[in-house]
Amino acid sequence: MSPSNVTKFTSVPGKRRFQFDCVHAQEQIQYGAISLYQFGDLSCDAGFVLSNHTQVCYEISYIVSGKGWFGTNGARYDLGQGDLYIGAPGEQHEGGADADDPYRYFYLGFHFNTASFQDSPLLAIKEMIDNKQTPRCKDRLDIRTPFAGVLKELSSASPFSQTMIQSYLEQILVLTYRNFFSDWEAKYPGEGWENSAKRAVFAAIHYIDDRLLKIDDLKEVSDAFGYSLSYLSHLFAKETGESLRHYYAKRKWEKTVELMKEGNYSITEIAAIMRYDSIHTFSRAFRKAFGLSPSSYIKEHFGKSGTSPGTGE
């Protein structure tokens, strides 16, 4: 796929502030068991309204930032950052952005490729979507990453882009399935581990890595495995040589830099994703950790301005 397949536009105030939209409605592109109908990134102004229409394909939407709502068959669902929303062909779909904090969301429109779908493990995902109890849930598994990966490949095609896009699309579907359907809780490793301390530390690392952007307090980690925070911290330091709090902070800063490198988010959006109350507290913490302001770091390391088109920063 070449960049010429991609449409980018800014529309009038009160509607779409910025949109990156890749449409293949007439000639869908096949990625294994997935037929890509549409993929995009939409930032909305406060007056944005998605008029009622009939879904022509399966659709998965992820709220990157802000607030708004979607409706399915007359039922309305309020949405905020980190929410997932799924729709199926034939459903009546509508929506609108919040007046004070309008949402930005990624969306994937697709069909299941019947020619290669019969024996596909994705069959369970189709059944889940077709029989869902609710179209909305909170993302617990960082589905933002494969969404951003597809956008990157679509915007600047390079060798093996087709392979990468198929991998990212399949990840989006699997993570959607797990978020909606699976009890995807962190488990201890299997049998054969000789040391219970190693098991506990491994489980804590897995829990933090899996829920990095969802953890409010490290006590959540210790509570998940029935330990006190002080005891788990002791085990962690003994086994790894670094404190639990240091590991958690290190992983968050690594994720922050990863988001900066992607270039899909403004600094304000990254601050919100990393669960800071304001851009000011984020900037102070970042400067303390790296010795540079976020914008200076992006410019120095990635040669970018520190802003993303249409994000309002």
In this prediction, residue 97 has a pLDDT band, given cuts at 50, 70 and 90, of very high
* pLDDT for the residue 132: 86
Q: Does residue 193 register a pLDDT over 70?
A: no
At 227 the pLDDT is 83
Q: Reduced to 3 DSSP states, what percent helix, strand and coil does the chain have, rounded to the nearest 5? A: 40, 25, 35
- What is the sign of the dihedral through the CA atoms of 212, 218, 220 and 221? positive
Q: What is the per-residue pLDDT for 307?
A: 47
What are the angstrom distances between the C-alpha of 109 and each of 59, 61, 86, 169, 292? 4, 9, 10, 11, 40
229-243 confidence digits (pLDDT tens): 898 899 899 888 899
Of 17, 65, 64, the C-alpha closest to 43 is 17
pLDDT in tens, 136-178: 999 988 899 999 999 988 887 788 888 999 999 999 999 999 8
Q: How far is CA 156 from CA 62, 64, 150, 192, 225, in A?
A: 22, 21, 10, 46, 43
pLDDT beyond 70 at 7: no
State the pLDDT at residue 69.
96
Give the pLDDT confidence of 31-90 residue by residue, as tens digits.
988 999 999 999 888 889 999 999 999 999 999 999 999 999 999 999 999 999 999 999
Predicted pLDDT of residue 128 = 84
State the pLDDT at residue 79: 95
Rounded Cα–Cα distance for residues 302 and 261 (Å): 7
Q: Give the CA distances from residue 184 to residues 156, 176, 177, 265, in Å, rounded to whole numbers and listed in that order.
A: 34, 11, 10, 27
More confident residue, 22 or 64: 64
Give the helix/strand (H/E) hosting 202: helix 196-210
Predicted pLDDT of residue 72: 95
pLDDT top residue among 28 and 160: 160
Task: pLDDT band for 198, please (50, 70, 90 cuts).
Answer: confident
Q: Could you tell me the pLDDT band of residue 200, with boundaries at 50, 70 and 90?
A: confident
Task: Give SS3 for 152.
Answer: helix
Q: Is residue 190 scored above 50 in pLDDT?
A: no
Question: Average pLDDT in the 96-123 region?
Answer: 86
C-alpha to C-alpha distances, 262 to 123, 134, 164, 257, nearest whole angstrom: 31, 32, 15, 9
- pLDDT the model gives residue 309: 36
In whole angstroms, what is the distance from residue 46 CA to residue 169 CA?
30
Quick one: CATH architecture of 3-180? Sandwich (2.60)
Residue whose pair of structure tokens reads 């697709």 in the numeric block: 110
Is the pLDDT at 182 greater than 80, yes or no?
no
Of 166, 123, 160, which Cα lies nearest the Cα of 29?
166
Summarised one tens digit per residue, pLDDT across range 249-307 is 999 999 999 999 988 889 999 999 998 989 999 999 999 999 999 999 999 988 765 54
- Residue 184 has a pLDDT of 42
Indicate the pTM of the whole model: 0.64
Is the pLDDT assigned to residue 313 strictly greater than 60? no
Whole-angstrom Cα distance, residue 62 to residue 67? 11
DSSP string computed for 53-108 = EE--SEEEEEEEESEEEEEETTEEEEEETTEEEEE-TT-EEEEEE-SSSB-EEEEE
Give the model's confidence band at 116: pLDDT under 50 very low, under 70 low, under 90 confident, else very high: low
Sequence spans of domains, the chain = 3-180
Q: Which among 266, 29, 305 has a CA at the least distance from the CA of 157?
A: 29
